[in-house]
Structure 1
Amino acid sequence: MNNFRHFFRAGFVLCVLLCMFLGGCSSGPANKYGTFNENVPLVTDTAVLTGKLDNGMSYYVLGNPKEENRIFLRLAVKAGSILEDDDQKGVAHFVEHMAFNGTEHFAENELINYFESIGMAFGPEINAYTSFNETVYMLEVPADDPEMLDQALLVLHDWASALTFDETELEKERGVVIEEWRLGRGANGRVQDKQLPFLFNGSKYAERLPIGDPEIIRTISRDRVIDFYKEWYRPDLMAVILVGDADPQKLVSAIKKTMGTIPAPEETRVLPEYSVPPRTEADILVVRDPELKYTTIQILEQKDFRGIKTAGQFREEVIKGMALSIFNDRLAEKTQDADPVMLSTYAGFQQLAKTSRFSYLGMIPQPGRFEEAFEMMITELLRLQQFGITETEFSRKKETFLESVEQDWLNSETVLSSERIGDLLQVFLYGEPMLSKRDQYNLYMQILPYITLEDLNGAVENWLTGRGNIMMISAPESAADIPDRAGLFNLWQNWIPEEPLTPYEEDNSSRPLFEDSDLPGPSGKITAEKKYSKTDIREWILSNGAKVYFLKTDFMSNENLFYAFSKGGASLVQDRDYPSSIASIDYALMSGLNNFSAIELEKKLAAKTVRVTPWLTDSWEGFDGISSNKDIETLLQLVNLYFSKPYFTDSAWASYIIQQKAVVESRKNAPVEQFINIIWKLVYNNDPRRQRLSENLVAEMDRKTAEAIFRERFTDAGDFTFVFVGSANEKELKDLCIKYIGSLPSSGKKEDARYTGKGFPSGVVSDTLKMGIEPQSRVYMGFGGDVEFGPEEYELFDIFMSLMDIRLREVIREKMGGSYGVSVYGSLTGYPKPRFLISIEFGCEPGREEALSDAVIEQIHWLQNTAVPQSYITKLRETYRRSSETGFKNNKYWQSRITQSLMRGIPVDAIKDTETTIELITPERMRQMANTYLDTGNYVRAVLLPQDAP
């Protein structure tokens, strides 16, 4: 399951600022903020049907026809690890696991088998998680068969009240839970073990991590597991939430019919509420670990927080978000210096307990420069506190936020059920209302125009008092640049810059991003066009040879996805220049465009919904991007500039090389990173063009060569194919393509990539790495080689990967309890040379590597020699049918299918022909594929063992 093991990680604490303000409100009387009343309580969308059953269970129902033929279901229980007794640590999570191992109406694994048989995959559509304060079960079912909804509600009924806790299944599941715990160990797990008690300051949260105590999981009695279930899984602590393409009233009736039969308990324990005691004095924690990849510094301050429930609180969150977004922009600029002492930075706030959250400021310093980096971070904090935010920054950020709100509103009619059901979870669990998109938009429009620069500067003062009162540092044991505790305290609380601080300054070029004079030539014209009748895809061939494909959709009201590709890639680069090709894309991105630095370019695009990113692989080069309708011209301008006016600077190169050296250094003591190095060497047969980042590789990178490679690969637009999928106006897009793509130069030459690999090794090749202090092992098994195949094989290959995933999960996880999960992934490549690679990877207890590897080989032989049972074929067919059903209502799916078809030479009109693929999913075809792709006499195997393993 998706066990929620830790909010607060030993490295980055990601700050997703725009996501913090979701909510809304209806209008109030006019005051200093306009038509806005800060005391008005936020109210949940009136389209939501909500109530309580006689047994005390809550329900929330929302119809959403935009995500067609799907109903999303949640069972939320206000019972998490915080409620465990001392001898039950980990039981809340254990109960969650047992919910999938037998209920009154679904014995053992019948539950998962049923949902897979109707096309719902374990993981994406069938899952659960446990946190400190809640456990949430998640299902997704098609809406076209009432029986499927009935069965899904019956599952929720059983989860809520009728788990069987079969003794045999419970014993097997102990191993799975322990393997999940083992998977989370390592340097970050050990750091977390010390940081969380320190951060939670003696509260119960410090002693109740949801993953629990593995020794308790190994030995706890069945009765004590059931005790937790009986005590806390009760209707008054539960809610059923349904969102989807169905009549809401009928959904309510179905809930009442099935869930209303659960009896209310005669006696109940009061649900306690736990808090984190505020820290009264400044304190420091330093944690060192031999396997940590880098040093992190975080200063924090605990704040009381009980959710966003009024319009005034909503406004405060928006203001804080704007202010911190600006501060993060400033910090990010420092990481792009020619000699960056801060490699990564982050500022924000995050809720860790139900009644409090932490403001934080942190960074990763360049190795060996701790004090210098810390002083820079404090300098920027003091600069912000002393001088505040500038008018220019404020105006730009307000414009950015207004643009984001506008785009969200334009797409509000196509909001996904998966998003809405997440919002309704917050309503039940934390009392934060989920407002309608219209009320949310109206509230933003009442707030944003009236926010002032003074408001933002006030939020800065309230975000972090002084320099905070908590400092946490995690570092490799070898880091010699960290002062002792007294020195750290003095640096943190008392250091001041030698020179007086000055306000933040920036260069604000008024020059537009693109002018018509920037066009490299006259606009082209369309020489041929075509419409594919079965898919409605348009094809335009421009006079310079470039091809454009466009599919107009209405899945999102204001979204356009973009992709472009051309043959060649890094395969056309000489061996000696290959290291520089690796650097070429990042070098271009870190430099900028059209004589704008990367920082200047970001500011030019701040108030636009647009992104274009070049990419380069061994056989291809191209672009990936997205834009709103009104910014699609900017997208094409950016594409034009990458061809005609890329920009390369010495400072960007210097910064890039320093960062790459830091990455190399950070990997040296990390067992998993060194394990991946071994896997690469085995799989790619020590190919010098297939190596991971290393000191030697970085040393061979050359600035001028990297620039030359980029210019060479992105110079001839006539050899490119451009794909657009989305809501753009067809005539407008066509005219823009004629102007911005058609004006690009073309030599008329068509390139081909060359195969540069050494080929998959012969025989059984293996290697073992002994590294790491945790009792955890990992096993990798890779199968690969050359292969001949037809165009239908691409999709069948992915389906075969799903078959292996299901079978190995059933045997390795469910039957043997040997691993939390087995990852099965593969690639089938037809260009420039047909070949394949299948990877199987899992973690396990030391000592079980051989037995589990043998079990994998045994299952491969089973697939090769046995007609796959029809139950598996049904699962594969239905999963493919249902995933295609939803995919064809999704821009990203269409973009991927169109580009894959074009790159593979498959007619785009065949994209919707799913029935042909379904007919090919047969027991015999799956058996043939097992024999084609899984030669047990020719594979590679890598094993990671603890350093003290015998």
Structure 2
Amino acid sequence: MPTASHRFSVSSIAFLYALLLFFTGAFLFPGTNCAQAGSKSEGWWLDGSWPHEHSTLEPHQDAVFGRLENGLRYVLLHHGSPKERASLYLNMQVGSLMETDSQAGIAHFMEHMVFNGSRNFPPGELIKYFQSIGMSFGADANAHTAMQETVYKLQVPTTDMKVVERGFVVLEDFLDGALLLEEEVDGERGVILKEKTARDSESFRASQRRVRFLLSGSRFVYPTIGTEEVIKGADANILRGFYDAWYRPELAVLIAVGDFDVRTVEGLVKKVFAKAGPRAERPAIPAWGDMRLKGVNAYYDRRSGTTGMLVVEAIHPRRHERDSLAVQRAMLDEQLAAHMMQARLMTLANREDSPMLKSFTYFTEAFGQMPDARMMAMPRKGRWEESLSLLENELRRALEFGFTKPELMRAKKFFANYFKQGVKRELSRDNSDIANEIVLCMNQDRVYQSPQQTLDVFTPMLATVVLDDVNKSFRSAWGAGNRIVSLSGVDLKADVSPEMAILTAWNKAARAEVKPWKGEAEVKFPYLTVPGKPGNVLERLHETSQAAPYTYQRIDFANGVSLLMKPTDVEKNRVQISLEFGPGTVSMDDRGQALARFSLDVLNQGGLAG
């Protein structure tokens, strides 16, 4: 059965430090080939419109955006990687936020049930069909349910357009033809309960406790998997009621990215999906609630046996802004500030006497709706108070004195190169990666643009960024009127409550004087100089004993070094280099193996390793 993930999609080009999200969120890098969006009303995306219909930003110049008479929208894009394959996604803009209390978990239950019998595929027949064309669940057929979306994903071959058409028939059945037979509901119930048990880990429970603290009284505290009571009590009537109310063509976005002729595929979309229609009245959405915390709030979760983690954040109430050039500029200013703050924290964490093992900062959106400014640190054992003091001081230093011109210059160079590399990477990206990005754009009300459009938008924008704007953006991001200071994975032994100990440490740090940032001295490039002349070649060998693409060239140098070169068209404009020494550690004695491990540690921590 396809797995469902309790998450929001995170753009493939997000910062590495966004991987340490403490609870479900969505993060968009400026130039995620879709621009940031946003009325605070529930379900702003339910009007069935395109993000670019509300923006002056132009959508991807090569993508075909269409809408059928029944309201179903589609995005079609030719992309040749991998060859003769296509990603077909049905993005239902329906998730667990549409549920009432008595339906908690039904959106996820529905994701399972559409695979268990439909108009064109009776129970058991869909799996047989997938197998007949070489597809398998997980790799080629999958789905996920989140709070705002349920996305069905197929990977199909494009050598036969009848297979592509049949893939559309499968997705149209998911939208409009699910049978929802009572015996299939009973059979799937156990699968879902088993999945719920599998998810019920220590880290999942910890994340739920934290969400309940942050967003008490809101619907965001309910996990997508639902409640055991609702899952056990669900029947075909309950599922049918949700399905007919919410699985509607105007809430569906079909996405096809792959190695195909776009006009041919568009004809198939019109042929297959035109008959879908609403089957019931769409109900009102339950009120979702919002962030309500003010002032400084402490949160503690011992979570014995886990890595210690400190989080300092400011979370704004929900907001939604329609995409625009101004919104993109605001995002750029914000992310430039985050990049500079990250550089400071990395400098501090790398100092020999640092109380932190690692530290991160970034701006995200909790559940894709609440702007969240975050600093995180992994404190060394017994040094959480010092780590917290460092975070408080550095945050206050940046808020009071701002960043410096040299810091901004380096951040600009980073982003300028990043956007250029995005253009070079595009041809070699997997079509599923692009399809996921389109889903993210549609569900966050962002205009989907090409990497070249992104480069064209942000290059002149970068040139006009000034330090005052970036500093104002940083202060605005942290100006939510609250501070949430969280500590987990540390066993606090104090005479007061853990929360009081955290607040005491925070208040003590807040009394310390801070001065403007003094940057680290520029470090000379620490590696060997490039030799003045090339090495002497002893022999050149072109290995052709096997047919292309398994041919390669070998060059032996006089100093004993051998160079192996193998061209490939898998990733355009990229080169992978590896260096191997001798036969490895097998032939070494204990002392030699210890020295080898030490050498690798020096290499990894010296900045040369990937």
Give the counterpart letter for 2:536 in structure 1.
G
> 1:74 touches 1:241 (CA, 8 Å); kept in 2?
yes
Which runs of structure 2 are paired with 1:157-556 in the superposition (5 Å)?
Answer: 157-206=172-221, 208-265=222-279, 267-270=281-284, 274=288, 276-302=290-316, 304-306=318-320, 309-465=323-479, 468-477=482-491, 484-493=498-507, 495-496=509-510, 498=512, 500-510=514-524, 513-516=527-530, 523-532=535-544, 534-535=548-549, 536-556=551-571
Shift of 1:447: 0.9
TM-score by length of 1: 0.57
Q: Does 1:90 align with 2:102?
A: no
Q: Relative to 1, partners in 2 of residues 1:511 and 1:331: Cα closer, same or farther, differing over 3 Å?
A: closer
Give the counterpart letter for 1:529 in structure 2.
L
SS of the residue corresponding to residue 461 of structure 2 reads helix
Distance 2:27 2:228 in 1: 36
Distance 2:5 2:34 in 1: 28
Q: Does 1:55 align with 2:63?
A: no
Distance 1:512 1:186 in 2: 45
Name the residue aligned to 1:586: 601
Root-mean-square deviation (Å): 3.2
Distance 2:71 2:534 in 1: 71
SS of the residue corresponding to residue 360 of structure 2 reads strand
Distance 1:496 1:478 in 2: 21
Q: Relative to 1, partners in 2 of residues 1:479 and 1:584: Cα closer, same or farther, differing over 3 Å?
A: farther
> 1:58 touches 1:239 (CA, 8 Å); kept in 2?
yes
Shift of 1:559: 0.9
> 1:203 touches 1:276 (CA, 8 Å); kept in 2?
yes
Q: Relative to 1, partners in 2 of residues 1:373 and 1:580: Cα closer, same or farther, differing over 3 Å?
A: farther
Shift of 1:41: 2.4
SS of the residue corresponding to residue 552 of structure 1 reads coil
Name which of 114, 132, 152 aligns with 2:129.
114
Give the counterpart letter for 2:93 in structure 1.
K
Which runs of structure 2 are paired with 1:736-885 in the superposition (5 Å)?
Answer: none
> 2:397 touches 2:516 (CA, 8 Å); kept in 1?
yes
Percent of counterpart pairs with the same letter?
A: 24
Between 254-263 and 217-226, the greater mean CA deviation after superposition? 217-226
Shift of 1:251: 1.2
Name which of 72, 83, 97 aligns with 2:87.
72
Distance 2:421 2:311 in 1: 36
Cα deviation code 1:290-326 (max 9, x no counterpart): 4444343333322554257111211221221122112
Name the residue aligned to 1:147: 162
Shift of 1:566: 4.5
Shift of 1:247: 1.7
> 1:17 touches 1:321 (CA, 8 Å); kept in 2?
no
**Count of matched residue pairs:** 579
Shift of 1:480: 5.6
Give the counterpart letter for 2:20 in structure 1.
F
Between 257-266 and 229-238, the greater mean CA deviation after superposition? 257-266
Distance 2:220 2:77 in 1: 34
Cα deviation code 1:263-308 (max 9, x no counterpart): 3335332456745244344322222334444343333322554257
Give the counterpart letter for 1:118 in structure 2.
I
Distance 1:276 1:89 in 2: 19
Shift of 1:408: 1.9
Give the counterpart letter for 1:22 in structure 2.
T
Shift of 1:101: 2.4
Cα deviation code 1:370-426 (max 9, x no counterpart): 211111111221222233222222222211221222222234444542233223223
SS of the residue corresponding to residue 565 of structure 1 reads coil
> 1:410 touches 1:557 (CA, 8 Å); kept in 2?
yes
> 2:291 touches 2:315 (CA, 8 Å); kept in 1?
no
Shift of 1:554: 4.1
Q: Relative to 1, partners in 2 of residues 1:19 and 1:460: Cα closer, same or farther, differing over 3 Å?
A: closer
Distance 2:19 2:566 in 1: 42
> 2:357 touches 2:377 (CA, 8 Å); kept in 1?
yes
Q: Relative to 1, partners in 2 of residues 1:253 and 1:472: Cα closer, same or farther, differing over 3 Å?
A: same
Distance 2:91 2:368 in 1: 16
Distance 2:265 2:192 in 1: 34
Name the residue aligned to 2:29: 19
TM-score by length of 2: 0.86
Distance 1:278 1:467 in 2: 10
Give the counterpart letter for 1:13 in structure 2.
L
Distance 1:393 1:240 in 2: 43
SS of the residue corresponding to residue 316 of structure 2 reads strand
Shift of 1:364: 1.9
Between 187-196 and 6-15, the greater mean CA deviation after superposition? 6-15
> 1:153 touches 1:255 (CA, 8 Å); kept in 2?
yes
> 1:21 touches 1:317 (CA, 8 Å); kept in 2?
no
Name the residue aligned to 2:5: 4
Between 14-23 and 542-551, the greater mean CA deviation after superposition? 14-23
> 2:419 touches 2:451 (CA, 8 Å); kept in 1?
no
Distance 1:443 1:483 in 2: 51
Give the counterpart letter for 1:262 in structure 2.
A
